[in-house]
A and B are shown apart, each in its own frame.
Chain A
Amino acid sequence: MKILIKEGHIIDPSEKLNKVGNILIEDGKVKSYPSDTKKLEKGPTIEVIDAQGMVVAPGFIDMHVHLREPGFEHKETIRTGCEAAAAGGFTSVVCMPNTNPVNDNASVTEYILLKARTEGIVNVFPIGAITKGEKGEILAEIGEMWEAGCVGISDDGCPVMNSRVMRHAMEYVKAFGIPVISHAEDIDLSGHGVMNEGFTSTVLGLRGIPNASEEVMVARDITLVELTAAHLHIAHVSTAGAVRLIRDAKKRGVRVTGEATPHHFTLTDRAILNYDTNAKVNPPIRSQKDVDAIREGLKDGTIDVIATDHAPHSEDEKKVEFDLAPFGISGLETALPLSLNLVKEGILTLPELIRKLTFNPAQIVRINRGTLRVGATADVVIFNPDKSITVDRNKFRSKGKNTPFHGWQLSGCVRYTIVGGKVVFSS
């Protein structure tokens, strides 16, 4: 099976490619960049995709999603999560371990990978838990999970509050060369907070989560990674102070990377003014000052990656009192158009944006993806960056319809998602 992608605007930051051209895919790999396609097109077993006016890039990699399986199949399954990913232009997703049971041992990792092979239409790379049951006490069997296919460790959803445990996790994981991904939150400072602490929480009478809750943990983890020389990745950066801490640490040469979500660089906590539980997320969406700082961090390279923290929940779970609703936003299917806003507003160039969605996350979790060089696995996204769309949560492939962006007018539409040389999504 061959696919010829014709006359697309090829952008591949890993190869510094930014030009109009053709790509030939054969046997699941990037075969060549033919300049003359006439002869090829006449071949009997070739699918030709006319990509004129479209961007052709390495398939996006979302290094922060919750697929919910095993345990919470009413929110999402590996099948539906992968379908949502494909619709969003993602060819690989990195899934967090807060399932039930927690992915804290190799048998759960193997279950996830088996499910992904049989039902998933995109690549699934699991993250193992740092500690057993994500309880923050005893190290999980990280080595075996790494052998089984985990590409990093995290207690995402919960912080590792005990600094000694975090130190040992960072040290231990060096044997396997995978990153420690920190959900940076001081749970005592967060208290029972449900949204950003500030004027909006004061008016709404909702308990606030101060910026400091994130920042003290980012500072602690940076200090610990300086001690241990591991690789620290800060998940879902939400505050100006966290951006500053990461920037300063990078300047000192500390091995720290960071990611930001589209909701954190798009929304402020005013989205909650009508108690919209679809905007309830942890870390919370914050102030304009924080949004500006995250955008600045994306621009100057402090923040390496755009990841969605895709956190699907069922309608019933979200249609309750604000305090009772679970945290999380369904993000896979709105990530591209929201990210393209950064290009429109001159914060990132299109190649810079694509780099944060492909090559950078691939480097951090050390997977052999995110590139269109000849011989690479043919994971490709083809999208129209200018086509207007209206976000309609009812059309999401994800089971999680929990988006605060329903009804938004945006631009950017995925036309084809190709995984290993197979078209898994087209529109």
Chain B
Amino acid sequence: MVFQRKHILGLEDLTAEEISLILDTAESMKEVSLRDVKKVPALKGVTVVNLFFEPSTRTRSSFEIAEKRLSADVLNFTPTQSSVVKGETLLDTARNLEAMGATVIVIRHSMSGAPWLLARELDSSIINAGDGSHEHPSQALLDLFTVREVKREIQGLKVVIVGDILHSRVARSNIWGFIKLGAEVRLVGPPTMMPQDVEKMDVKVYYNLEETLKGADVVIMLRIQMERQGSGLFPSLREYSRFYGLTRERLKLAKEDVMLMHPGPINRGVELSSEVADDVHSVILDQVSNGISVRMAMLYLVASGGGNA
């Protein structure tokens, strides 16, 4: 199978085969990361811009390392040092970068759909590095990759996603990804943080964490954003933590070999009790290093396939 897409905007529009191809490619890329000289010439001469309109250390660094391992020329562009503060529109900013020779643009934006605007109006390949509450495909792909590495097979797994589903792009991308690869996905969180009609994504919705955790193979904890306090969606972090925080006791309800995942950074004592946070740290670090391989795969497939071959 050949990857035909020019952009990777989300997991919603990828097929199961395309997702598997990205994961398979990431496996080969992981092998590069284990070498002494962690570099291949796949993207030599290709200029990749990391256009990050939202603060991000983890995702941006991960993309940057991935780009460099593929020998791309990398430009990091963040709005604080740019013309955006002078009122330039997103399209004008991106067109300028394109005029400088960028052919792949990795974009992170606080507003849902921003990568779609670029994909529609520009010639470059667009990789969505997280847009608003919409999608975060590279995070979901690395979650899938990490789970597949441990469990061998996604098909038939019971996957629980806990927390603020309403505002979570990680949740949406993971739902699409796990569902397409045949897992059963359960969502749990306060009803105020459950988006309308989300059941139509073929997931099961729960409000009780204990009940949801029974028999789970994978638990994905979402970060509670501190600024959501006072939004009226939940009374206090204390109460949130009592009902939806993951403790060792609660985790025992899941399967013995449950994988606990978190896109980071963790709020200790809120969504995860401190002792659980320590327990899961190893998987989180695995996720981080797998992130580089997955992003290498995304960059490679987009730059060499579809509209750019």
Chain A residues near B (Cβ < 8 Å): 197-199, 201-208, 210, 274-275, 316, 319-324
Give the docked Cα–Cα distance between A316 and B114 (Å): 15
Contacts of A201 in B (CB 8 A): 195-196
Q: Is the CB of B112 within 8 A of A202?
A: no
Known pairs A322-B111, A322-B112, A324-B111; A205 contacts B132 (CB<8 A): yes
Q: Which among A199, A205, A208, A319 is the interface contact of B91 at CB below 8 angstroms?
A: A319
Give the docked Cα–Cα distance between A91 and B273 (Å): 69
Cβ distance A91 to chain B, nearest Cβ, rounded Å:
38
Chain B residues near A (Cβ < 8 Å): 12, 89-91, 109, 111-114, 116-117, 120-121, 131-135, 169, 172, 195-198, 200-201
Known pairs A205-B133, A205-B172; A321 contacts B196 (CB<8 A): no
Give the docked Cα–Cα distance between A320 and B134 (Å): 17
Q: Is the CB of B91 within 8 A of A274?
A: no
Give the residue among A198, A205, A208 with the most B Cβ atoms within 10 A: A205
Q: Is the CB of B198 within 8 A of A321?
A: no
Q: Is the CB of A319 within 8 A of B117?
A: yes
Cβ distance B165 to chain A, nearest Cβ, rounded Å:
9
Cβ distance A206 to chain B, nearest Cβ, rounded Å:
5
Q: Is the CB of A198 within 8 A of B197?
A: yes
Q: Which among A197, A199, A319, A321 is the interface contact of B109 at CB below 8 angstroms?
A: A321
Cβ distance B198 to chain A, nearest Cβ, rounded Å:
5
Q: Which among A199, A206, A208, A319 is the interface contact of B113 at CB below 8 angstroms?
A: A206
Q: Which among A202, A204, A319 is the interface contact of B198 at CB below 8 angstroms?
A: A202
Q: Is the CB of B112 within 8 A of A323?
A: yes
Q: Which among A199, A205, A316 is the interface contact of B112 at CB below 8 angstroms?
A: A205
Known pairs A319-B121, A320-B90, A321-B90; A204 contacts B196 (CB<8 A): no
Contacts of A324 in B (CB 8 A): 111
Q: Is the CB of A202 within 8 A of B113?
A: no
Q: Is the CB of A205 within 8 A of B121?
A: no
Give the docked Cα–Cα distance between A199 and B203 (Å): 13
Q: Is the CB of A205 within 8 A of B196?
A: no
Give the docked Cα–Cα distance between A322 and B114 (Å): 7
Give the docked Cα–Cα distance between A210 and B117 (Å): 25
Q: Is the CB of A275 within 8 A of B116?
A: yes
Contacts of A203 in B (CB 8 A): 12, 172, 201
Contacts of B169 in A (CB 8 A): 205
Can you list 11 residue pairs at the A/B interface with Cβ under 8 Å?
A199-B198, A201-B196, A202-B195, A202-B200, A203-B201, A205-B113, A205-B133, A210-B196, A274-B116, A275-B117, A323-B112
Closest to B172 in A: A205
Contacts of B200 in A (CB 8 A): 199, 202
Cβ distance B136 to chain A, nearest Cβ, rounded Å:
10
Cβ distance A64 to chain B, nearest Cβ, rounded Å:
28
Give the docked Cα–Cα distance between A201 and B172 (Å): 12
Contacts of A321 in B (CB 8 A): 90, 109, 111, 113-114, 117
Q: Which among A204, A210, A316 is the interface contact of B134 at CB below 8 angstroms?
A: A204
Cβ distance A200 to chain B, nearest Cβ, rounded Å:
9
